Structure 1
Amino acid sequence: MHDPATHHKPRIAISACLTGHSVRYNGGHKASDLCRTQLEEHFEWTPVCPEVAIGLGVPRDPIRLVGNPDHPEVVGTRNPGMDLTGPLRTYGEQMANELDDICGYIFMQKSPSCGLERVKVYQDNGHPAFHSGRGAYAQAFCERRPDLPVEEEGRLHDPVLRENFISRVYAYADWQRVLAEGLNRGALVNFHSRYKYLLMANNPQAYRTLGRMLGTLSKDDDPLVVGPQYFSELMQALRRCASRGTHSNVLQHLSGYFKDALTPSDKSELQELIGQYQQGVVPLVVPLTLLKHHLRNHPDPYLQQQAYLQPHPESLGLRNAV
């Protein structure tokens, strides 16, 4: 069965304060229990603090976003003449190029340099603007790396968002392996084949669109051109979180592979668990465990390679909570 745990630990960039580095403006840190206890054994961290990297000290004058929420400037709170917008954006672009071995990035929320969304932007009168903005470093970084899975630490406490982000990290790592081994037509089709049901769960519309994109490949189409375009659309599509409804639809599709192999009582047990999952009575791991049990007894090569059945190591327990 497709098992991400058999490969190297994916490398994830992370705001350095989240790993316990004392780099915040007040000399402290924001060590994330979630990252350090639940995630650390599965990932290699690359801690980054853009504010320290551009030469600011610890402790330091706090900074904030001011002006137009779409293109805010970053200035010192006490010294508004200190404009750090350029240095932070330049460093974001530099790191987007340098961090070429990462498969994801966890940012510190609400930070004027690292926040991905809902960062306060102040107006000339000192009051926050109606609309919020993005941290200057994070914005510049993400503009250069639109396919990379990114998330804020605060949002990772939501089990659905956490499961979605980590599924995307492993999909990104899987694609990097395909590229390293040499992207050809067969490798592209096989990759899509592995991700079909994960895609169907997260984004049924993109499942159809991307299926058509690869289904109409002609022998003249260059996989080195089509591949990156396909992967870009896949990563955007996977950002949508699966719902109990879309998961249940995929579980029904998977159960269809066993329609001739199972006894009537096995079939009704499986249907009952899928129904209980759809109603919110049991988590996703319950019907999935039974499906995997039947798959071991009735092996199917197509199903065994599906990333959906094991998008991340089982020991992370991410599907016990969704």
Structure 2
Amino acid sequence: MNPVQNPPLRPVVGVSSCLIGAPVRYNGGHSRYKFLTDELDRHVDWLPVCPEAEIGLGVPRPTLRLQDRPEPEADGPEAESGQAWSADRVISSKDGTDHTDDLAGVADRHLRELRRLDGYVLKNKSPSCGLYALPVFNDNGDRLRGTGRGAFAARLTALLPHLPVEEQGRLSDAVLREHFVERVFAHSRLRALLESEWRPRDLVEFHTRHKLQLMAHSPDGYRETGRIVARAGTDSPEEIASVYAEAFHRALAVKTSRGKHANVLQHVFGMISPMLDDTRRHDLLAGIEEYREGQAPLSLPVALLRHHCSAEDVAWASNQTYLRPYPDPLRLRHPVAV
């Protein structure tokens, strides 16, 4: 059987353990996040990790903070040892113990499992897991800046730069939430293909199904991935898999926009327009325009296109992942988002 036609893998998503209810926070509590436990949980499998508990800090435990240190010299011992990936140290507020390398080492110990992930959700504001805008202090406890990143998060993103990674707080934003989940499921589909005994025609089929999705994020990325697929019958499978995966994930990491979505919707409309009568054609164009002007959610024109493509048996369009990038029950395209 063609591997692209097999049932898709369930995405595997790494997660800070406290976000799915584990009582491992510094105060003995958790930070259960309902979107993860009540909605996304039905569609993915979790790999929970608490770096602080894993290195034996205990529950409850003294709080940690990020402390500034000078950037390592280019020819210094830290640069030679590969420890130049983070300029901030994770320090215990109780006794000043430096836990940076131990926390980062959790990512290295789990690297084999992490390479099988399709995404990662990190606890925000955490000196180990925080991804953005953590406060950084000097050794006197004075705040210096607000641009820190947790030690585990820094090592994770350095080891796996193309893995979809987001932090809890940002997932409250409808646009960021939809983008993250879309990338997770696309990552899972590509992983399913590349872990199979795929042939060049399988990659061509995969790419064909993802053309509109790529176009909605990065027209340049869409063209780049197309050029890579064109070499699938001549270059080695290992080389093609590597460069295609990198280009694919880089393209989907680009944020889309209302304008780019509208252009893709118009592209699909152009394919099916000759098959529609004037009334249906007008309704579909009106739905696209309402979305473009911010008066309707993306789900409206997408639902119309899905309906008409199915009714008219437009197989190429119906099979596009753009029209169904993740399970419908997640309802991520319903908000009227900017």
| TM-score normalised by length of structure 2 | 0.89
Report the Cα distance in structure 2 between the residues aligned to 1:180 and 1:301, rounded to whole angstroms: 26
Deviations 1:220-265 (A, max 9, x none): 3113212221111211221222211110000000011112211122
Contact map agreement 2:25 2:60 (CA 8 A) in 1: yes
Describe the SS at the equivalent of 1:147: coil
Matches within 5 A, 1:1-322: 7-68=8-69, 70-80=86-96, 82-215=97-230, 217=231, 219-321=233-335, 322=337
Shift of 1:41: 1.3
Shift of 1:214: 2.8
Aligned-residue identity in percent: 38
Report the Cα distance in structure 1 between the residues aligned to 2:46 and 2:113, rounded to whole angstroms: 15
Shift of 1:129: 2.1
Shift of 1:19: 1.0
Report the Cα distance in structure 1 between the residues aligned to 2:210 and 2:144, rounded to whole angstroms: 42
- Greater mean alpha carbon deviation, residues 167-176 or residues 226-235: 226-235
Shift of 1:209: 2.5
Report the Cα distance in structure 2 between the residues aligned to 1:232 and 1:210, rounded to whole angstroms: 9
Describe the SS at the equivalent of 1:132: strand
Structure 1: runs of 5+ lacking an equivalent: none
Deviations 1:53-74 (A, max 9, x none): 0111111111111114851111
Contact map agreement 1:12 1:106 (CA 8 A) in 2: yes
Describe the SS at the equivalent of 1:129: strand
Report the Cα distance in structure 1 between the residues aligned to 2:233 and 2:184, rounded to whole angstroms: 31
Aligned AA for 1:285?
Answer: S
- Greater mean alpha carbon deviation, residues 19-28 or residues 130-139: 130-139
Describe the SS at the equivalent of 1:151: strand
Contact map agreement 1:66 1:124 (CA 8 A) in 2: yes
Structure 2: runs of 5+ lacking an equivalent: 72-85
Give the length in aligned residue pairs.
Answer: 318
Shift of 1:97: 2.2
1:76 and 1:34, CA in 2 relative to 1: closer, same or farther beyond 3 A? same
Shift of 1:13: 1.3
- Greater mean alpha carbon deviation, residues 225-234 or residues 162-171: 225-234
Report the Cα distance in structure 1 between the residues aligned to 2:9 and 2:248, rounded to whole angstroms: 22
Shift of 1:169: 0.7
- Greater mean alpha carbon deviation, residues 258-267 or residues 106-115: 258-267
Contact map agreement 2:8 2:189 (CA 8 A) in 1: no
Aligned AA for 2:24?
Answer: V
Contact map agreement 1:111 1:135 (CA 8 A) in 2: yes
Report the Cα distance in structure 2 between the residues aligned to 1:102 and 1:286, rounded to whole angstroms: 32
1:205 and 1:21, CA in 2 relative to 1: closer, same or farther beyond 3 A? same
Report the Cα distance in structure 1 between the residues aligned to 2:141 and 2:33, rounded to whole angstroms: 31
Report the Cα distance in structure 1 between the residues aligned to 2:119 and 2:315, rounded to whole angstroms: 30
Report the Cα distance in structure 2 between the residues aligned to 1:189 and 1:123, rounded to whole angstroms: 53
Report the Cα distance in structure 1 between the residues aligned to 2:210 and 2:29, rounded to whole angstroms: 42
Deviations 1:253-310 (A, max 9, x none): 0011112211122212111110000001110111111111111111122212211010
Aligned AA for 2:300?
Answer: V
Report the Cα distance in structure 2 between the residues aligned to 1:238 and 1:128, rounded to whole angstroms: 36
Aligned AA for 1:123?
Answer: N
Contact map agreement 1:184 1:224 (CA 8 A) in 2: no
Shift of 1:137: 0.8
- Greater mean alpha carbon deviation, residues 40-49 or residues 103-112: 40-49
Shift of 1:155: 0.8
Report the Cα distance in structure 2 between the residues aligned to 1:220 and 1:312, rounded to whole angstroms: 33
Contact map agreement 2:309 2:315 (CA 8 A) in 1: no
Shift of 1:138: 1.3
Report the Cα distance in structure 2 between the residues aligned to 1:306 and 1:85, rounded to whole angstroms: 44
Report the Cα distance in structure 2 between the residues aligned to 1:137 and 1:92, rounded to whole angstroms: 6
Shift of 1:218: 6.7
Describe the SS at the equivalent of 1:21: coil
Deviations 1:83-132 (A, max 9, x none): 11111111111222233432111100111101111111112332222351
Aligned AA for 2:90?
Answer: V
Contact map agreement 1:15 1:106 (CA 8 A) in 2: yes
1:174 and 1:218, CA in 2 relative to 1: closer, same or farther beyond 3 A? closer
